[in-house]
Structure 1
Amino acid sequence: MGEMREEEVEVAVKVVVVGNGAVGKSSMIQRYCKGIFTKDYKKTIGVDFLERQIEVGGEDVRLMLWDTAGQEEFDAITKAYYRGAQACVLAFSTVDRDSFDAVETWKRKVEDEVGEIAMVIVQNKIDLIDDALVQPEEAENLAKKLRLRFYRTSVKENLNVDEVFRYLAEKYLDQLNKVVEELPPSPQKIIGQGFTQVDVKSNSKDKSKHKNDGVISLQPSKRRTHGKKSLMTSKCGLL
């Protein structure tokens, strides 16, 4: 099953990184996707996006990392970008007590939009442990309570950053393989080129009947295709 799916379409995972402002969300994504660390803090306005391709268990996985604003004033913008997310990093900072206390709230915000998805709790800035405002056992107890994997990271020292995203990719693949065993692939999982191929086939069957098919098939971009658009496109092809 896994091999067949791999030939058909590359696996892509939309990962949202959430948490209070200034806990290191943007730095973490920049470190992971570009291999750089910038110590100057710049508030994220709305949403930013980077991606990286890795291999997990012989499968190519494209991780699309959505960097979301941690400030309340951007709440409405940010929430819209949770939709279609298949994995989530709940981030807090070693030296920011409020960010730790907010982890459960962030978890609820994401789950209100997308339900239960692969999640991980990340304590960043572990290099500042001497100034910690969160005790190690507190963080471990929260992870146990929420039944989530817990990582301590230092984006600055590049400690455990790769491990966080590899874990989410593996967890998502496990869930995807279970779904593939039980059900035919859902439109949400067949992304990017998969849609375009469906559209091309439907156009070639009957060009005169669906004059708008060509236009619709051009709309979904690889980055922005999540469930709803693909359904609409394939429906048009079948009508």
Structure 2
Amino acid sequence: MDSKAKRPLRVKVISMGNSEVGKSCIIKRYCEKRFVHKYLATIGIDYGVTKVKIKDRDVKVNIFDMAGHPIFYEVRNEFYKDTQGAILVYDCSSKESFEALDTWLNEMKREIGNPAEIENVVFCVCANKTDRQKRTVDEAEGRIWADTHGCYYFETSAQTGEGINEMFQTLFSTIVEACENGGKPPSISTSLGYTKEQAEAIQRLKNSKSDWERLGLYPGSSKDEINKAYRRLAVLLHPDKNVAPGSEEAFKILVSARTALLRGK
């Protein structure tokens, strides 16, 4: 590799997401290899620097940790420009923080303004706090959001360290590759292997409160309607045809719901 390619590279990364999703803890876990149990909420912007070696290049990474509270909007809106990498974080036990990802992405797009500049940003989505037992956003839902928005997806836990190194390694390596390609990141090839319809069917089966709702039927529907709804969903959910996380569990729920409804006929 020539001397020009070996020159140190400076990159800018920002982290975004609602308050208390673990943005600062993720950064602390990566940079200091430890978990802070009681971390003070970020006020405005927290700033840190780390140095890594990627593809024989020394890389100095400036990380700007954005405060998640709305009152700090006027502070953080100055820091979106010239971003090369962005980490979008949500708490997988908080549906609200997941649903806020669109708001955060739109805020960044609005502040940067230039669509071409947005296209050159490498995005990673972190489904954080996977160590928690109660999960309200499962892996399939998170992966579909990330895939739809052109982001890499990682399951992370700042407490255990799960996925943290892999996420930062992917982020930094992709940024370096983009810099060596005139600023254009490589296309993200999806490895989902399942459709949005399949993932949504899994979600409905797992979250519905009645067997009628699970099959998408009104109470009192006929035996033929029950079987027709079952067959349609079985095609979507059978584990042999659906590799989405949770498909096997959802299929069992579907079979149980159909059996219970037919028993009442």
Match of 1:31 among 21, 26, 29: 29
Task: Normalising by structure 1, report the TM-score.
Answer: 0.70
Partner of 2:10: 12
- Supply the distance in 1 between the matched residues of 2:42 and 2:128 (Cα, whole angstroms): 17
1:162 aligned onto 2:161: no
Contact 2:123 2:150 in 1 (8 A): no
Q: Which has the higher contact order (CA 8 A, sep 6+)?
A: 1
Larger proportion of helix: 1
Point out the structure with max Rg over C-alpha: 2
- Supply the distance in 1 between the matched residues of 2:88 and 2:98 (Cα, whole angstroms): 10
Task: Normalising by structure 2, report the TM-score.
Answer: 0.64
- Supply the distance in 2 between the matched residues of 1:66 and 1:25 (Cα, whole angstroms): 10
Partner of 2:2: 3
- Supply the distance in 2 between the matched residues of 1:47 and 1:5 (Cα, whole angstroms): 33
Shift of 1:3: 3.2
- Supply the distance in 1 between the matched residues of 2:2 and 2:33 (Cα, whole angstroms): 31
- Supply the distance in 1 between the matched residues of 2:179 and 2:143 (Cα, whole angstroms): 28
Match of 2:122 among 111, 118, 122: 118
Change (3 A) 1:180 1:158: closer
Shift of 1:111: 2.5
Superposition map of 1:19-58 within 5 A: 19-58=17-56
1:68 aligned onto 2:71: no
Match of 1:133 among 131, 136, 161: 136
Superposition map of 1:145-224 within 5 A: 145-179=148-182
Tell me the C-alpha RMSD between the 2 structures: 1.7
The 4+ residue runs of structure 1 with deviation greater than 3 A are none
- Supply the distance in 2 between the matched residues of 1:39 and 1:180 (Cα, whole angstroms): 38
* Number of matched pairs: 178
Partner of 1:142: 145
Contact 1:33 1:50 in 2 (8 A): no
- Supply the distance in 2 between the matched residues of 1:87 and 1:180 (Cα, whole angstroms): 11
- Supply the distance in 2 between the matched residues of 1:11 and 1:131 (Cα, whole angstroms): 41
Between 87-96 and 101-110, report the one with greater CA deviation: 101-110
- Supply the distance in 2 between the matched residues of 1:81 and 1:137 (Cα, whole angstroms): 31
- Supply the distance in 2 between the matched residues of 1:65 and 1:111 (Cα, whole angstroms): 19
Structure 1 unaligned regions, length at least 5: 182-239
2:123 partner amino acid: M
Shift of 1:42: 1.6
Contact 1:22 1:41 in 2 (8 A): no
1:174 partner amino acid: E
Shift of 1:48: 0.8
Between 40-49 and 118-127, report the one with greater CA deviation: 40-49
Q: Secondary structure at the match of 1:38?
A: coil
Q: Secondary structure at the match of 2:178?
A: helix
1:102 aligned onto 2:106: no
Contact 2:10 2:59 in 1 (8 A): yes
